[in-house]
């Protein structure tokens, strides 16, 4: 099965938790003109810095205070940024030092306390801070444009940029840099700062500024796994060209020899950014190394000054060379991943990667997944009874034939005694997956670790699982300081509570369980979408009569697309719900693209406002008696005025 199926299996079991996030933000490079003009408007995601528009989390006004994304201030004014203890923000601007704290309405400017009406807060991953107290500390002026309703901030950039990077020149006694695991080295890219490095170190980037839009000089080293077969000249060049931006054009390509080594060389020009790039590539064993130098200029002649630097690259690492700094991410065969927002440290094999799209720490390779989350302690749930309650919930959520072999065992983590619940789950086709759910109770929180792998891979995966579990280290003190009440939403939440949703536009109401999650939740709009552990409910208005909607559904089942996905009509009849007649159509899909068979039930009502369709979608493995009752109760609660 594909990796996206592994992800889907995991998300079917676990909640998606929103989290406060503090992301380090780099400042713009200094410009010849130090004047700064920022234009922004409450409720608008567009902010203009010196006329250049950028998209941010929308500023808002609370208690008379304009709150803006912190990165707008650091980017515009070149202020330095530092985060301490997960919740203390320090901004430096020339001789000014501004200290803000999440949850505190006191801001310190050069040590002097100033009261603000609203404390810093995280909104959808953006840190929002009070605007006026900060920019006035910078000596900036705030005015308003009555015509555009924009707030205007006028000031100057800091005399020195606070990028937070480490200058290459500051590495005392080191003149070369390399990666001992990936096996390469070259001279230091003088005057540049390291701005990026992948989790496993397969690529690393230096630039003259941490802001992508302001880069005038840049160096990248990329390590590709290509197998043992020797790549042809054209294959090598195609591999390098695959790293082009969309507007890059090739202006030169050839084979060169440097120090007895043969490289493929490609030179390109990016029209939009006016950057010239030189790519050099060489294969050694199963690895292909690409070194890229970029410089802004009228033509490729600007790259000539980098020849000595490029000529220093070698696909080897000399551990005896004291002038060589090792930047490898791999130590003793593992990568140490750190998530500062969650205070999580874990060591994983070199073929693992972090999932940056996940709101909570999630890691994977091509077969296994590891997931971390936390919730506040739930009344009545203890370390002693958690596994029992969790097993009961899983059995409620899945049909009997898809889950088996529950085992509860005590485990010891770095942070204390925990309990592990292991079981096997199948979504069909006799493909079984082993889940290991570990619960650690500490302070005010329950920490959840989940490790999943194909049951057929048990011998190898069990060994990795034990090694990973032994490496997990959670900064529980940081969590206690940073997080508030994180209520349980799925795992052990009370599913008996309901809420009534009404649509005055379309004249209906429905009772939904409170644990169902609203994605499109304005019931006066013509499209509503909620998800839940078993599937989803979609409510929408159609301009066509109910009979036409039914015919369209039946035609789809018999279409080429429907047949290819194994769609069949299980039921098509008329039902009455609370005195209102509806057309009821049930369609089963046995071969969907995501490999998980599911059922769709449509309840189609004719009303004065048009045709209203209630579509319920649930996975076959989730069609347990408990889930079907919850779904049916929601349907039976539908009422029209």
Express each pLDDT in 76-104 by its tens digit. 898 888 766 556 788 989 889 999 987 78
Whether 35 shows a pLDDT value over 70: the answer reads yes
Instruction: Using alpha carbons only, give the angle 511, 512, 515 rounded to the nearest 5 degrees.
Output: 150
The residue-averaged pLDDT of 630-634 equals: 95
Q: pLDDT > 90: what percent of the chain?
A: 65
Q: What is the spatial distance between Cα 161 and Cα 140, in angstroms, rounded to a whole number?
A: 17
* Summary mean pLDDT of the chain: 87
Does residue 570 contact residue 553 with C-beta atoms inside 8 Å? no
- pLDDT for res 150: 92
Give the global pTM: 0.63
Strands in 167-318 per DSSP E: 176-179, 184-187, 193-197, 203-207, 217-225, 248-258, 261-270, 275-284, 287-296
Q: Encoding tokens for residue 235?
A: 């294959």
pLDDT tens across 196-208, in order? 888 889 999 998 8
pLDDT tens across 281-300, in order? 999 999 999 999 999 998 99
Does residue 10 contact residue 454 with C-beta atoms inside 8 Å? no
Q: Of 272, 217, 210, which Cα lies nearest the Cα of 71? A: 210
């Amino acid at each position: 099965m594909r990796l996206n199926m592994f992800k889907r299996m995991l998300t079917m079991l676990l909640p998606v938790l929103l989290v406060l996030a503090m992301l380090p933000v780099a400042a713009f490079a200094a410009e010849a003109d130090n004047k700064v003009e920022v234009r922004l408007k409450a409720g608008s995601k567009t902010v203009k810095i010196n006329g250049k528009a950028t998209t941010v989390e929308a500023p808002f006004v609370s208690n008379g205070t304009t709150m803006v994304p912190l990165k707008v201030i650091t980017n515009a004014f070149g202020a330095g940024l530092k985060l301490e203890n997960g919740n203390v923000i320090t901004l430096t601007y020339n001789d000014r030092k501004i200290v803000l704290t999440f949850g505190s309405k006191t801001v310190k400017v050069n040590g002097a306390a100033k009261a603000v009406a609203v404390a810093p807060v995280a909104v959808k991953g953006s840190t929002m801070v009070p605007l006026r107290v900060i920019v006035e500390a910078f000596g900036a002026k705030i005015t308003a444009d009555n015509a555009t309703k924009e707030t205007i901030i006028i000031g100057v950039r800091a005399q020195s940029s606070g990028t937070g990077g480490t200058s290459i020149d500051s590495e005392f006694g080191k003149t070369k840099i390399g990666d001992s695991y990936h096996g390469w080295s070259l001279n230091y890219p003088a005057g540049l700062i390291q701005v990026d490095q992948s989790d496993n170190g397969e690529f690393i980037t230096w630039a003259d500024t941490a802001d992508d839009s302001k880069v005038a000089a840049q160096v990248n080293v990329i390590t590709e796994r290509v197998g043992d077969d020797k790549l042809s000249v054209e294959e090598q060049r195609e591999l390098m060209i695959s790293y082009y931006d969309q507007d890059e054009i090739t202006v030169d390509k050839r084979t060169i020899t440097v120090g007895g080594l043969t490289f493929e060389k490609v030179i390109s020009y990016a029209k939009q950014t006016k950057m010239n790039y030189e790519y050099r590539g060489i294969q050694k064993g199963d690895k292909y190394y690409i070194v890229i130098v970029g410089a802004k200029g009228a033509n490729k002649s600007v790259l000539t000054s980098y020849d000595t630097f490029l000529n220093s690259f070698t696909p080897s690492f000399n551990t005896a060379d004291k002038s060589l700094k090792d930047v490898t991410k791999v130590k003793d065969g593992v990568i140490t991943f750190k998530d500062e927002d969650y205070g999580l440290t874990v060591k994983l094999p070199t073929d693992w990667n972090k999932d940056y799209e996940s709101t909570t720490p999630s890691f994977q390779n091509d077969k296994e997944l590891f997931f971390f989350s936390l919730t506040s302690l739930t009344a009545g749930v203890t370390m002693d009874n958690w596994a029992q309650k969790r097993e009961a919930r899983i059995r409620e959520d899945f049909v009997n034939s898809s889950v088996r072999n529950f085992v509860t065992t005590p485990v010891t983590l770095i942070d204390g005694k925990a309990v592990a619940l292991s079981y096997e789950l199948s979504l069909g086709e006799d493909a079984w997956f082993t889940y290991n759910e570990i619960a650690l109770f500490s302070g005010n929180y329950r920490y959840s670790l989940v490790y999943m792998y194909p049951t057929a891979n048990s011998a190898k995966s069990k060994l990795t699982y034990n090694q990973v579990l032994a490496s997990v280290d959670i900064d529980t003190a940081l969590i206690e300081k940073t997080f508030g009440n994180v209520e349980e939403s799925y795992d052990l939440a009370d599913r008996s509570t309901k809420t009534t949703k009404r649509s005055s536009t379309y004249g209906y109401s429905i009772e939904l369980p409170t644990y169902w999650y609203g994605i499109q939740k304005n019931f006066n709009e013509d499209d509503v979408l909620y998800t839940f552990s078993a599937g989803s409910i979609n409510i929408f208005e159609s301009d066509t009569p109910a009979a036409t909607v039914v015919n369209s559904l039946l035609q789809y089942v018999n279409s080429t697309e429907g047949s290819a996905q194994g769609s069949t009509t299980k039921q098509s009849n008329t039902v009455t719900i609370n005195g209102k007649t509806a057309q009821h159509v049930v369609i089963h899909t046995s071969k969907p693209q995501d490999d998980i068979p599911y059922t769709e039930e449509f309840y189609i009502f004719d009303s004065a406002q048009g045709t209203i369709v209630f579509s319920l979608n649930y996975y076959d493995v989730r069609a347990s008696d408990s889930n079907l009752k919850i779904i049916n109760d929601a349907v039976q609660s539908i009422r029209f005025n």
